[in-house]
Structure 1
Amino acid sequence: MSRTGYVTSGRYAPPAARRELVAVSADGARLHVEEHGDEGAPAVVLAHGWTCSTAFWAAQIRELARDHRVIAYDQRGHGRSPAASRYAAEALADDLVAVFGATLAPGEKAVVAGHSMGGMTIMAAAGRPEFAEHAAAALLCSTGSGRLVAESLVLPLRPGRVRTRITGAVLGARAPLGPVTPVAKRVLKYATMGPGSAPDKVEACARIVHACPAGVRYAWSGVLAGLDLDANLATLTVPTAVIGGKNDRLTPIVHARGLAAALPRCVGLTELTGMGHMTPIEAPEAVTAAIRELTVHLANVTDELKETL
C-alpha cells in the first residue's frame, strides 16, 4: 500500500526510511516495518494507534533519528500492512514481538513507545519473555487499559448505558469515512483533538485516519470495545512514563491517571493542557521529549551489562 493521501510537506509528512522490511507475526500476518537513523544507534520502537500508521510518528521520527535507530511499524491492516484474518489484543502482542525479532539482536534493548492502541499493544505484550528481553523502558501515550467506550466523552451525554451503547455504535460504524472534506476535518477535530489544534495538524491527522480501510477500522473497534488489560499492568515492570491530553475525548485523562497509579514503575505522568487524543501530532515536542527522557534507561542497561562482564 502506498502513502498516497498523506501530507507531502512539512513536519508531518512521512520521512523516507533508511530501510524497509517485513516482519511476520505468529499467525502469518505480514507487517510493514521501517528503520530510520543510524544502524548502530540506540533503538526506539514506535507503535501507532487505531486507524493510524507509521506516518503518525513523522515528527518524532525526524527528531529522534538524529541520534537513535527509530523502528516504526504499521499495525496489521493499517498503512502498508495488509489486512489479516485475526484481530485481538493477543495479536497486537504477537505483532510487537515479531517486530522485535525482525529488527533487534538477541538481548538488544529499546525504548518502546505506543500511542492509543499502540499503548495497548505494549500492555498486551508486557508479560511476554520477548518483551522482557528487549524493552528497557516504555511510554504509554493517550491510551487506556479498559472501559474505553464507557469512559469516552465523544458524545456529550450523561455517563451510563445509553451513552456507552451509542458511543459504541458511532465508533464501530462500518461506513467508510469518505474523502477529507472541511466537514470531515471539523468532525475529526472535535472527536480527537484539542480545540486549539492548528489546521496543518488537523489536516495531517485527517489524511492518516481517512486512509485506514473501513473494514479494518470496524474489526479493531470491536476489539477495543471489549478490551480489558488491567491485569497486564502488573507485568509491565520496566520504567514506564504516561502522557495524555486533558481535552482527550477518546481516552480521557482519567485513563492516564489510572495507569500511572497502577504501574509498578511509573516514572512520570504528563498531563497536556488543551491537547486531545492525537498528542504525537498535537504536541510533538512534548511526546518526543518524553521518549528522549526514557532513553537514559538504554544507557543504564549498557552500564549494567558492562559490570557483569
Structure 2
Amino acid sequence: MLTKTIQTSIQALAGAPNGALTAAYRAGLRSRAYRTAALNAPTTPHQVVPVTTVDGARLRVHSYGPADGDVIVLIHGWSCCLEYWNPQINAFAENHRVVVYDQRGHGSSEPGRTLPSRETLADDLAAVLDATLHPGQRAVLVGHSMGGITVQAWAARYPEQVRRRAAAVMLVNTSSGGIRYDTDLLPLLNKPLTVGDKPVTVLGASIRVPIIFAETLLTSPLPLPGGWPVNFLLKARVMSKHATADQVDFALGIVRSCRPLARGRHAAMLANLELGDAAKYLTVPTTVIAGEHDHLLPKRMSRRIADILREAGNLASYRVWPTGHLTNIEAADYFNAELARVVQRAGGHATYAAG
C-alpha cells in the first residue's frame, strides 16, 4: 500500500519541472573528464540504434566496436545510464561489439506512458535485443543491480528467448526481491536502534526507525546535491573504503545525472518488486558476482540467486569480491578479466584492453 501511494504521488508530479537539472546539465554530469582514463568517454566511435518500446518510449541505445564482433550487452542499474559502463566499453569496444542503453527515464531515454515494473524492464530489454542482434546471433548479457533484475525479469517473461538471444549471463550486485526489508543501505532501516551492542528499548520494546522515512528518502523525486558530504556518504554506504576519489566522483556524477522523477519512480517499484525464482529461467551459463561490502544489495541477495541457478544446473560461478555495490567500477580490472573469461567460455574471442 505504501509503495502504491508513493507511486501515485510521483506519477502526479510527472509534468512538474525537474528543478535546476536541465537536460544539458545532466548530460554534462555524465561526461566529465577524469584522471582515470577508463572512466572517461570512449574514443571508439559508436552507432546510434533506434529503439522504441511497446508503449512508445524512445530509448537511447549505443553500439560500439566492430559490427561482426562478439556481442556484449551491458544493462545498467537504478539511477544510472549507459555511461556507467565506460570502464567496460573502453576495455572491450576495440574488438567486441558492445551494446549499451539507457533504461526508460534514465539518461536520455524517454520514460514512456507506463509506470516502471518488472514487465517494462523485461519488455525494454527484449526490444533492445531485437534491434541489436541479428537472427541467430547471441550475446553475453551483463546486468548490474537493477540491470540484473532486468535480465531475470526478461528470462521469466520470455523464456523462449533465453537460449536464442543469450550465450551467457553475468548478474552483478543484484537481487531477486525483498529489497525494502533486506537492504543495509541505511544502517537504521527498520532495524533496532542500539547503543554498543544493546538495543534501545522503551517500555520493553526496541526502538526502530519507521521504514516510511527511509522509503520516502529513496523515492523522493528531488535533485541530488553534490559536494563532499554526499561523496562521503556515497563512498561509505554504496561503495567501499577502497574506492578512489575518481571512482566516487564518477559514480556521483552518473547518479546525479538521473532525472529525479525516474529515480523516484524506479525506487518505488524496486521496493515492492518480487521475482521469486525467476533466475531458474536463465538456462545458459550464468555467473553471479557480489560485493563483500555491498550495503545496498548485500551479498546474501546474490547468494539466493546463485542457489536457484545451482539447483537448476546453470550456475557457472558465484564470486564475492571485496567491493561495495559498484563492483565493475571499484574493481574494473578484475571485472573485465572475469567478463573476458565469460565471453571466451561462451565461444567468443575474448580480447580487452587492461586498465
Aligned residue number for residue 143 of structure 1? 174
- Partner of 1:113, secondary structure, is strand
Q: Is 2:60 aligned against 1:11?
A: no
Residues 277, 308 of structure 2: 8 Å contact kept: no
TM-score by length of 2: 0.80
Cα RMSD (Å): 1.7
**Which of residues 231, 245, 253 in structure 1 aligns to 2:299?**
253
Q: 1:167 matched to which residue of 2?
A: 214
| Distance in 1, Cα, partners of 2:305 & 2:289 | 10
- Matching residue within 133, 137, 146 for 2:164: 133
SS of the residue corresponding to residue 285 of structure 1 reads helix
Is 2:266 the partner of 1:220? Answer: yes
Measured in 2, the distance between the counterparts of 1:181 and 1:84 equals 32
> Aligned match of 2:320 in 271, 284, 290?
271
1:230 match: secondary structure: coil
TM-aligned CA deviation for residue 295 of structure 1: 1.1
The aligned length equals 298
Question: Would the aligned equivalents of 1:39 and 1:69 in 2 still touch at CA under 8 Å?
Answer: yes
Specify which of 276, 286, 291 is matched with residue 339 of structure 2. 291
2: CA distance, partners of 1:74 / 1:175: 20
Contact 2:162–2:283 (CA under 8 A) maintained in structure 1: no
Map Cα deviations across residues 76-98 of structure 1 (whole Å, 9 max, x no partner). 11112122222111101111111
| Counterpart residue number, 1:103 | 132
Cα distance in 2 between the residues matched to 1:212 and 1:125: 23
Which is worse superposed, 73-82 or 128-137?
A: 128-137
Letter in 1 for 2:41: P
In structure 2, runs of 5+ residues without a counterpart are 1-22, 193-207, 349-355
Larger Rg: 2
- Once residues 126 and 247 of structure 2 are traced to their aligned partners in structure 1, the CA distance between those partners, rounded to angstroms, is 31
Q: Which amino acid aligns with 1:4?
A: G
Structure 1 gap ranges (5+): 301-309
Q: Distance in 2 between matches of 1:163 and 1:125?
A: 33
SS in 2 for 1:34: strand
Distance across 1 between alignment mates of 2:235 and 2:210? 20
Aligned residue identity for 2:267: S
Q: Is 1:195 aligned to residue 241 of structure 2?
A: yes
Could you tell me how far 1:297 is from its partner in structure 2?
Answer: 4.3
Give the structure 1 partner of residue 284 of structure 2. Answer: 238
Aligned residue in 1 for 2:5:
none
Amino-acid identity (%): 34
CA distance in 2: counterparts of 1:145 and 1:201, whole angstroms = 27
